[in-house]
Structure 1
Amino acid sequence: MAIALSFLLYKSLIGRSERRITERLSRLHSAGTLSETEYNQRLAHKLPTRSKGELVWLHAGTQTALRPAMELYARLAEDRPDIAGLITLGTGVAPPIGSLPDGCTITVAPEEGAGIIRRFMTHWDPDCLIWVGGKFRPALIQAAQERGVECLSIDAAKSTPILEVYQRIPGLRGAVLTSFDHVITANAAATLPWRRAGVDPEQIEALGLLEEGGIAPPYDEMELTRRVTEIGTRPVWFAAQVDEAEIGEVIRAHKRALRRAHRLLLILSLADPATKTNVMAQLEKAGLAVCGLHPDKAISEVAQVILVPHSSGGIWYRTAPVSFLGRSLTPAGGIDPYGAAAMGSAIVHGPYVSDFKAAYDSLSASKAARKVRDGYALGEEIEQLLSPDQAALMAQAAWDIASSGAEVTDRVADLVQDFLDLRERISA
């Protein structure tokens, strides 16, 4: 494949730039504004170990592209469990807070130096590249193209098809855009820059944005059926990943709601399993009948609170029409709300959700989540949401938000499967 003249000019400019890049990063490192880890990642030194087998490389060009990219990898891994993931972060994109999807590594993207990129590509040897959110890096993308890596661009919120580097090289942007094998844009208008650059219209799809959404937590269908049968007609709510410091407020909420619904059952999971003994003592002291969930025993009719493992959240989001999401009544940052939304549970949360602010703002704007400040207000909300109609409206709104990007995610998953299957056949 012929290399565009603009690419050749750009490569000549960066070909001898590694020394200058190293000196610049060394100054930042010495000044304490660049960590040792980021210093090495940007120079493609001491990179994390690459897993064996296929590797999907996703790049988050903007902060709003990061979580959708993570969720996309998790979706791909559902279809291809042995696949590994690499997510690189563009300039100014902060690493994610919380856990990563299994099998996924996150690093800062390498600098635009020829030798640096060569080390990066040799080490990671990706099978396909999914660029999310624009802000393209010419040398990095061209290196992937040279290695025969299938390249896919997807629009995310607040993204535009611009270059991250500033270079007055005529035709460079167009050459970068035509390096992609497939493009998914937010709408028809967003296809215009790609068409003008000369990308084949058959390679462009205007499907919408790749957005943050819900990947439903896994659960055992037989276990779900069993527990729903045991609970029967009892009203139930779920308090998920609650901090020990929040337990007093959750107790207050449950006791208030019990005044209206005497058979009300609280399903409770803890943010830290090590606090279970202390939490059970607090619940018993408050006069509540509490027990842990036993794998071989039915849920007792007299139990008012059941402590369940954190890992079983999928079952209880599905069972309970309303869920309180913990780590939010104290300044702990909150938990990801999209699991509850994807399972069709109405959401109540406290004010401290800074780790997932955009997600909670989106759910609140759609009337899919309600904010409370203490246990008294939480109890009031639980009382109101015991009405099936109210909870159902919120749950539907939550599900709509969680599934809004499903078409784009499913289409990308199909494309990547095709890319990898073709690559596998060629290398066989």
Structure 2
Amino acid sequence: MVVPVPPPPLLASHVAVRAAASAISHGRRVLLNGDHPPQVAALGRGDWVKLICGASFEDAADVRNLSLVYTLAGVDCIDCAADASVVGAVNEGIEVAASIVPTVQRPWLMISVNDDCRDLHFRKAEFDPDDCPLDCSKPCEKVCPADAISLKHSMVDGERTLSDPLRGKYEGGVITERCYGCGRCLPVCPYDRIRAVSYVRDPTMTAELLKRDDVDAIEIHTTGKGTDMFNTLWDNLSGSINNVKLVAVSLPDIGESTVDLMNTIYTIMEPHFKGYNLWQLDGRPMSGDIGRGATRETVSFAAHVASMSERPPGFYQLAGGTNSYTVDYLKKAGLFQSSNWNSGTATSEMASSHQALIGGIAYGGYARKIVGRVLRKIPEQFGRVHIEDHPDHLLEALQEAMSLVGPVKGYIPSHSKPFMKQVDRQ
């Protein structure tokens, strides 16, 4: 008989975490009428928030901590790589969050796959550190937002080469599990030694993941360059696709033909899927951590799709370039939690016709950045970090996550971080 592992003791600072997360729960809006799950109700209201861990980001330790923090902050979904170990890390983070705050809502777990190796989300940087000249200033290391490149001088004849930087060689290179394919290192290499290696997720392994009880949704990334490969992937997944509650399709803005592409994809999916469907409008992929300008493209994309009357049924969600400015840009465009009176929700009808035109926002690079800078404060001597073992850092990370999730969920206003400071830490 397996004895359940008891939850960790509620440390003093965890009391503050529990108080903050409980306030989030109390501040949640009334769910839509009917039998729809709370995640679907959030899409209907327009306050759905998804954490994107990264379709190619496979650092299980970071994924676990991100999932823990953003579960406490109240996200509705956590999107991760279609890899069993990464799925396990997400679920562990969710479970630890629930052990600290038992009333926390479990977010849906979504896995991301692609139908085409040309999709930028499914590639890794690669180079041989032996090819790197020792006088290189290592701009690749500096520009990487994921800390996925590490170059260090090796030892030669038992002597460190730091005293003579032109002796010896570099060792290290790309930390594969941390690279998520943003491509920022490619143009900055002064010797043009870095290349991108693309890949497609194995549909057989994906089908097996969809059969797990702890996988709730799937996202299929498509490049917009036709639908033949989407059709092939959909056929490969048809035997297990109805095990999940929601199917999302992530696609770029391809101009006036975008809605035609979406309608064709919907025609492929609709006869074989009985759950909810969602369209992820990917404005400027993997750029949310850059700054204010990055979010304009995804809001522009949303405005473009919203203006088209022939768009297919389903929920709509923003991604690509999303950050702390996205809510304000949506408000300026008149798209934040505004109702759409005409669109349905695919094969599962909502109880209310007042469905939000834009169901929510997915945060990726920016969400990882603001929590990641807290994780990096934990001293290296602790090794593989469990953030709940460092409650002051957990509290700080939760504050950062709440500052991003709160304006969408409505429990704090835009560009405001006073919420956690109001919580009694004693």
TM-score by length of 1: 0.25
Q: Which has the higher contact order (CA 8 A, sep 6+)?
A: 2
TM-score by length of 2: 0.25
Question: Which of the two has higher C-alpha Rg?
Answer: 1
Give the helix-richer structure, 1 or 2. Answer: 1
